[in-house]
Chain A
Amino acid sequence: MNPVQQHEMKFADILASLIHDMKNSLWLVINTLESLAGEMESSADRQKLQTLQHEAKRLNTNLIELLTLYKLENERIAANIEELNLAEFIEELVLENRIGADARGVELSWTCDDDLYGYFDEGLIRGVVNSVIGNGLRYTRSRLHLSGEEASGFLVIRVEDDGAGYPQEMLAAQDAIDDHSALCEGRTRLGLYFAGMVAKLHRNQGKEGYIRLSNQGQLDGGCFSLYLP
């Protein structure tokens, strides 16, 4: 091992342990807020607390993204592919985001065949979809729908909303999303760059994962699709 590698390893370890600590704090915050919300009499107060919870959750999602991106950049990461039941996976994501959705008055729904199994890195894909949901909750009008299906040899995870949709230049530029310049162009872009990188880590029989954006979803808003081989 050369000294540079050693240095990087140390930095990654420090980063990881700091993030670990921050996430513990956030977890306490989120759960304390949840039990407080349960005790609230007035629905206005409850909603305030739910907003706080939602923001803490976003902070958490961002922290995971930050750490994962750092590791991706330094090639310290490989997808740990497991077989997972997609319906269970999506159900957990919906449960996790229920409070955030309630706080914003968004109806969060999902569909997935009970018998659909997928092969992917649970932690990484959870981070990606959480980030897309977090984004969706900000831009949608009243609904957000998650779905899972199999299409031409790919597992497809979709997040659709009934908001205004993705801006045209973003749709046009999506093939260049893995371009590093994306890093300095706003939060949504960063999230998509992250999603694209994570998708690419999933390979099977010569095929590689990818993401697609469109405005032709069932809900007439933005539609994010993650394709995993």
Chain B
Amino acid sequence: MTSFNFRQSELVSKTFLVVDDFGDMRGMLRSMLSTVGVKEIDTANNGPEAIDALERRRYDIVLCDYNLGPGKNGQQVLEEARHRQLIGLDAIFVMITAENTREMVMGAVEYEPDSYLTKPFTKDVLKTRLEKLVLKRQDLREVDQAVGEQDYDKAIQLLDNKIAARPGNLGELTKLKAEILFRSSEYEYAADVYERVLAVREMPWARLGLGKIYFTTGRLQEAQAMFEGLLQDNQRFTAAYDWLARTLQALKKDRDAQEVLERAVVVSPKAILRQKALGDIALANGDLAVAGKALTEAVSLGRHSVYKSAGNYAKLARVKSKSGDGQGGLKIIENMEREFQGEGESELYSAMVKGVIHADMGNREKADACMHEAARLYAKEGPHVAADLTLEMARSYGELGDKQEAAKLLQQAVRNNHAEPELLQQIENMVGEFDLGTDPKAFVSDIRKEIVKLNNRGVELAKAGKLQEAVGLFSEAVEAMPSNKVVNLNAARVLVMNMRENGVEGKQLGRVRELLDRVRKIEPDSPSLRRVQLMYQNLSRQGL
């Protein structure tokens, strides 16, 4: 029954930001909130104004219309707010949608709002909905906090207590639990949770979760079947497309993966990360037409997005040049320069891509000058340069015929990413394409031998009980090869051994977690990861 309570609304003390491009709407929302007793209400007319407001002040609740006219839409405001942490973990973001815009919004890859309100709604509906959201957030505050601190064991324990005490929103809590288990790589446990849900009823989120576990644990055929099944039931389930494409790529079916993403962008054309993924894979498949279209989308969507990236402009410019439209390529680079104003890696991308375009257009002198500038900027990036950038740079040298420089960069890339099969495959292909070595496979494996040798030395030190020395050696090695799976794992292992001997210490525990997270990203199914993870868990339990 409707309950009339005379206590003050939970909302009165909250700070609100209302975002709508339509003045009457803003006024109406404001008056609705005032009637409820809310005092702190700011408004913004469009996306950029909303971001400005969020930068200036921490809001408890954001009410944002999805349609904000030209420029950013509501989803892009949400993405930027969450991505840049302009709103706290416990802030509530409500997306106001027209009819069922939800399917359009649902195509998003990364972030989802806490709730959707469909226009038109009355002030009573608004009040009731917001009050419930506030209570829900309060209920999950401790769990959110534990997740924020990456204390997954605690988060699971808290959720288990809730699940046992109050089976009301069981499904919601169970979903959250499974997601946290997945994040802490408790795959068997997470799979068990999903299977129990599915035994009772068909829930797409549980099937997606199970599929992700299959993918992550290398059961690729099963993953493929799962995602395909989900899409058969609901061809608008965009997350299933993304995971199916990843699965197919892992199965080395790049053409099929491309086709899947092409279907996905028809359903949900506004997700920039998906357009970028399609552009990348089409480029790898040599499908310049599709790559050009997808990268054009990624670039144009990116203009108002936190995912705006100079790399996308660079790739698009290359595609244009390769398709024989050098002038078009230069135009893209000009746009990029205007958009980025020298920010981040844009100058480097600009120089290296211009080099290639000028070479394609037969202007060798200009090309060399550009590459000279690119080399200077690349050196400034330092040793922790992103793999993407290194490969793009190597490609530029390769296309200009500077084999020596290209080879040097690719060696560096192998060293940094020696455990990433997809990347190594790209490197191998590039070595072959630009004829950088008689044997592309050996190009990679020679470096591998170096690393093996270094590893063995560290392991021997550890065996001999010289743990401090081993810790030192591996932390240096990790510096030099920050993405190397074996080196990272060994660094974590000797840290754990060291703590077993000399006592548990919070900072070192954190470091181990960081190293293991890194490995998890590279190869989640690694049995040695599991072993070190177990060592770590035993140790941290002892330490508590």
Contact = CB atoms under 8 A, between A and B. Distances in A.
Interface of A: 1, 16, 19-20, 23-24, 26-28, 30-32, 34-35, 60, 63-64, 67-68, 77-81, 83, 85, 88, 91-92, 94-96, 98-99, 109-111, 114-115, 117, 119, 123-124, 126, 203-205
Contacts of A68: 100
A92 B129 contact: yes
Given A23-B120, A85-B169, 7 more contacts: A20-B98, A20-B99, A60-B120, A96-B121, A114-B168, A115-B167, A119-B201
Contact of A24 (B2, B98, B106, B172): B98
B171 A117 contact: yes
B122 A19 contact: no
A114 B1 CA distance: 9
Interface of B: 1-2, 22, 24-25, 28, 31-32, 67, 98-103, 106, 118-125, 128-129, 132, 167-172, 175, 201-204, 233-237, 266
Contacts of A85: 168-169
A-B interface, 5 closest residue pairs, ranked by CB to CB distance from nearest = A27-B120, A20-B98, A83-B171, A95-B124, A78-B234
B122 A91 contact: no
Contact of A119 (B31, B167, B203, B233): B203
Contact of B201 (A77, A88, A94, A204): A204
A92 B169 CA distance: 18
Given A95-B122, A98-B124, A115 B129 contact: no
Contacts of B203: 81, 83, 119
A223 B123 CA distance: 29
Nearest to A88: B132
B22 A24 contact: yes
Given A20-B98, A92-B129, A1 B171 contact: no
A30 to B, nearest CB: 6
Given A1-B266, A28-B24, A60-B120, A117 B98 contact: no
A95 B125 contact: yes
Given A27-B119, A85-B169, A95-B124, A80 B22 contact: no
A63 B98 CA distance: 11
A72 to B, nearest CB: 12
B315 to A, nearest CB: 24
B487 to A, nearest CB: 44
A26 B122 contact: no
B236 A78 contact: yes
B262 to A, nearest CB: 10
A117 B172 CA distance: 10
